[in-house]
Amino acid sequence: VGLKVAGKNDATASVERDTRGLSKPLLELMPTLGTDAFTFSPIRESTVSRAMTRRYFADLDAHAESDIVIVGAGSCGLSCAYVLSTLRPDLRITMIEAGVAPGGGAWLGTALQRDGDAQACRRLPGRGWRTRPNVKLFNATTVEDLITRKHHAESVSLSDDGEAEDEAKVRIAGVVTNWTLVSMHHDDQSCMDPNTINAPVIISTTGHDGPFGAFSVKRLVSMKQMERLNGMRGLDMQSAEDAIVNNTREIVPGLIVGGMELSEIDGANRMGPTFGAMALSGVKAAHEAIRVFDL
């Protein structure tokens, strides 16, 4: 509770005063450890419990109405959050990440290499969300549906039989969330009510198809907003990087898609662990989100 260890570049780890009055650097405590003289001051479990739940539920309450929600904290989502929060500190930005830790595929991809854009991605988590007061990351939380509203297009085109084609078109107006472990058990448990976050702009960066990936675009197909997905193609780094950055865009009103999730819509190639394009797709998604938000 209240412990905060300084970044790895600091010469020594420093510790902020916690709720029990611990104020000395961790390294200075070493001589007293293992002696009878060392003892923690008394603590009650409920103090810790309250500290955790009070803050968590206050955050949930504050972010139930957000300006922008980013789904997925992989390399694309994190770079997007960094740019968005830098350019627009006035916006309330919420990140939802199904996994326990942010980073997505970059954890494995950057573990396989040691230089170039891999290093840049490794640094993204610290810069992208921890240091920005207007970005809140909810980890271990899954987006399990999209909130929709009827879309009122300015010009409604007519099909051959005169029926309005845009009648069933929607705009995305928020997300439905649940704790990841709950989302994974809908088949064998009942009455597990989700939470919701209303927001006029959603940015989906959930990666290519997999246990969690390509979430929003698959949902667009089942919601009949998109006829079908073209599916990610085989590995071709030459074409994949350009395609992902160039195709980052608003797919249906209120929903911007970036990163490898796009490859499932457009049939772009697999990219492999070359994360620079993911970071740049995140930059483009941030600018696109500001454009849509300001409309």
Residues that bind ligand AHZ (CB under 6 A): 71-77, 96-99, 104-106, 142-143, 205-208, 212-213, 215, 259-261, 270-272, 278
Q: Which lies closer to ligand AHZ via its Cβ, residue 94 or residue 142?
A: 142
Q: Which lies closer to ligand AHZ via its Cβ, residue 179 or residue 293?
A: 179
Question: Nearest approach, Cβ of 201 to ligand AHZ (angstroms)?
Answer: 16
Question: Nearest approach, Cβ of 2 to ligand AHZ (angstroms)?
Answer: 28
Question: Nearest approach, Cβ of 107 to ligand AHZ (angstroms)?
Answer: 8
Question: Nearest approach, Cβ of 68 to ligand AHZ (angstroms)?
Answer: 15
Q: Which lies closer to ligand AHZ via its Cβ, residue 105 or residue 253?
A: 105
Residue type, 119: Q
Q: Which lies closer to ligand AHZ via its Cβ, residue 54 or residue 186?
A: 186
Question: Nearest approach, Cβ of 238 to ligand AHZ (angstroms)?
Answer: 13
Q: Encoding tokens for residue 246?
A: 């160039």
Question: Nearest approach, Cβ of 168 to ligand AHZ (angstroms)?
Answer: 24
Q: Which lies closer to ligand AHZ via its Cβ, residue 21 or residue 234?
A: 234
What does the CA dihedral 248, 266, 254, 127 come to, rounded to 10 degrees? -40
Write the DSSP assignment of the chain as a string of letters. Answer: ----BPPTTSSS--B---TT---S-HHHHGGGTTSTT--PPP--HHHHHHHHHHHHHHHHHHHSB-SEEEE--SHHHHHHHHHHHHH-TTS-EEEE-SSSSTTTTHHHHHHT--STHHHHHHHHHIIIIIT-TTEEEE-SEEEEEEEEEE---SSPPB-TTS-BTTTT-EEEEEEEEEEHHHHTTTTT----PPEEEE-SEEEE---SSSSS-SHHHHHHHHTTSSS-----EEE-HHHHHHHHHHH-EEEETTEEE-TTHHHHHHTPEE--S-THHHHHHHHHHHHHHHHHHH-
Question: Nearest approach, Cβ of 212 to ligand AHZ (angstroms)?
Answer: 3
Q: Which lies closer to ligand AHZ via its Cβ, residue 15 or residue 68?
A: 68
Q: Which lies closer to ligand AHZ via its Cβ, residue 15 or residue 106?
A: 106
